[in-house]
Structure 1
Amino acid sequence: MAQHAMPERGARLGRASGANGSGSTVTGVVLLLPGRPRLSPLSPGPVRPLARALTRAGGGAGLATHLVHGADGCQEWAADEVVRRYGDVPVCLAGYGAGGVTALRGAGHPAVNSVLALAPCLPEGASDGSPEPVKQLAGRQVLIVHGTNDACTDPELSFRLAARAKKANRSTCRFEVHSDGHGLREHRAEVVALAVDFILGAVLGNRWSRPVQDALAAPPPLGLRMPLASGFGRSLRG
């Protein structure tokens, strides 16, 4: 019998929205990792609108979305819990800020097939001088989104991480949101639309939009500095 990691103190999954909430069969799961777990888990950042958009766009096709409550590092327990509840379904770790770093670091769990990191708060470097690990991203589909005016964390750190990840994993891309800050507020609709497009493709097998396809196919640095076009969501609906 498979052994499951014990939850960190206070760790739990929020109530499912989407497929499980509507009684549909779950075919894929998104675990949302908020950036400030000690404060309101749905603020700040794009986590709340992303959860709503995923429910609308993917719930009918079997996508279930859970908010992960708990300390950093509980993503392994959360992924184990998904396997226990739903069986062998693909999992996307989607995080904002500190949660984006947690998502990137937790990609090695065997149930995880994709990672979305929104404005990840990457450290300048470890105390021993070693770079942020990327080995765990191999074989996963990875999207990083970062505002160019982020005053909380240097966007160049996520570019450097993406460049190292791309060498071992071609399925890595990164979009830049020009003139936007850490909260990704100025172009929130476009950021959410991009995130939904990526997740539906990675988890449910939907066809990605042309910009995502181009970003994944382009060699660095082009596919790692892909500008997020104004009106991205509207262009998809049109």
Structure 2
Amino acid sequence: MAQQALPVRTARLGRALGPEPTSVSGVVLLLPGGEESSVRRPSPMMATASVRALGRRLARTGRADGLVAHVVHYRYRGWNGGEAHLAQDASWAADEAVRRYGDVTVCLLGYDMGARAALRSAGHEAVNSVVALAPWLPEQDVATPAEPVRQLAGRRVLIVHGTNDERNDPELSFRLAARAKKANRDVCRFEVHSDGHALYQHRHEVHALTEDFVLGALCGRGFSRPVEDALQAPPPLGLRMPLATGFGRSLRR
């Protein structure tokens, strides 16, 4: 029996979240979670719920600096092994941002499987920063090579993971961060103690941390002291930085 071909689909960018600035200089591409293996079409609303609120916040606070945020709508729900469909779509989205807005810098911001796509696609020439929230990463074994990190060189990278994540092992993101840090000093990782996969318990702090990092990386506003300390600290300190309760409530830029 002949193998059935996958349906021809195209990825797309959702509408800009909030009013677009008059002149765009930075683009945040929001990469939702996905599944390990599936060729079904993603459900638009359910798939984007994990990143939409954060994207609206970034669009609002960064608009004066020319920042715009778009959700990436994937062709398929699944990563699908060596096809790495979600990473392919992330790279396409970076190309589309440049085509649409010209000479802009891009931050790839992903959650769960979308975080893996963000990390994997960071080598795109327009990308200067990556945010990976609760990233899904495969266990390394004889049949599964280590997740690549060379593409992260020259990018600012923030990884955030709940210590009680029962879906995606936080130790795997620590190991990836440790390997990336050897080639790129601009890598930091924050641990959200007692929080789970959805990072809901400390949602305010996670969103404030992400905002601080993105506006610093894309808009040149400068990082808060905790982020600066995490970037400067040698491993493992800067890769196991605890996210303080109340982060963001008293920050002054």
- Helix, strand or coil for the counterpart of 2:208? helix
Give 1:119's aligned residue.
134
* C-alpha spacing 1:172/1:23, structure 2 compared with 1 (3 Å): closer
Q: Distance in 2 between matches of 1:230 and 1:205?
A: 25
Deviation for aligned residue 1:52:
1.7
Asked if 1:105 corresponds to 2:105, the answer is no
From 204, 211, 218, the equivalent of 1:203 is 218
- Helix, strand or coil for the counterpart of 1:131? coil
More deviation in 70-79 or 209-218? 70-79
- Helix, strand or coil for the counterpart of 1:17? coil
Asked if 1:9 corresponds to 2:9, the answer is yes
- Helix, strand or coil for the counterpart of 1:22? coil
Give 1:53's aligned residue.
57
Q: Distance in 2 between matches of 1:99 and 1:89?
A: 21
Deviation for aligned residue 1:126:
5.9
Matches within 5 A, 1:1-238: 9-18=9-18, 21-36=19-34, 38-39=42-43, 40-43=46-49, 45=50, 47-70=51-74, 71=76, 72=86, 73-125=88-140, 128-236=143-251
Q: Which deviations, in whole Å up to 9, do the C-alpha atoms of 1:109-166 show, x marking residues without a partner?
A: 1010000000001011266342110000000000000000000011000000000000
Would you say how many aligned residue pairs link Structure 1 and Structure 2?
A: 227
The residue type equivalent to 2:48 in the other structure is: L
How high is the TM-score relative to the length of structure 1? 0.91
- Helix, strand or coil for the counterpart of 1:233? coil
The residue type equivalent to 2:26 in the other structure is: G
The residue type equivalent to 2:31 in the other structure is: L
How high is the TM-score relative to the length of structure 2? 0.86
Give 1:3's aligned residue.
none
Is residue 24–residue 62 contact of structure 1 (8 Å, CA) maintained in 2?
A: yes
Ranges in structure 1 where 5+ consecutive residues have no aligned partner = 1-7
- Helix, strand or coil for the counterpart of 1:117? strand
Q: Distance in 2 between matches of 1:23 and 1:205?
A: 17
Is residue 111–residue 134 contact of structure 2 (8 Å, CA) maintained in 1?
A: yes
Is the radius of gyration larger for structure 1 or structure 2? Answer: 2
Deviation for aligned residue 1:38:
2.1
Q: Which deviations, in whole Å up to 9, do the C-alpha atoms of 1:150-203 show, x marking residues without a partner?
A: 000110000000000000000000000000000000000000000010000001
Q: Distance in 2 between matches of 1:137 and 1:42?
A: 25
* C-alpha spacing 1:127/1:78, structure 2 compared with 1 (3 Å): farther
Q: Which deviations, in whole Å up to 9, do the C-alpha atoms of 1:56-94 show, x marking residues without a partner?
A: 210121001010001312011111111111111110000
Q: Distance in 2 between matches of 1:126 and 1:77?
A: 30
More deviation in 134-143 or 65-74? 65-74
CA-atom RMSD in angstroms: 1.6
Q: Which deviations, in whole Å up to 9, do the C-alpha atoms of 1:3-41 show, x marking residues without a partner?
A: xxxxx82310001135xx334100100000001372312
Is residue 135–residue 165 contact of structure 1 (8 Å, CA) maintained in 2?
A: yes
Is residue 21–residue 63 contact of structure 2 (8 Å, CA) maintained in 1?
A: no
Is residue 49–residue 192 contact of structure 1 (8 Å, CA) maintained in 2?
A: no
Q: Distance in 1 between matches of 2:210 and 2:142?
A: 32
Identical residues among aligned pairs (%): 65
- Helix, strand or coil for the counterpart of 2:33? coil
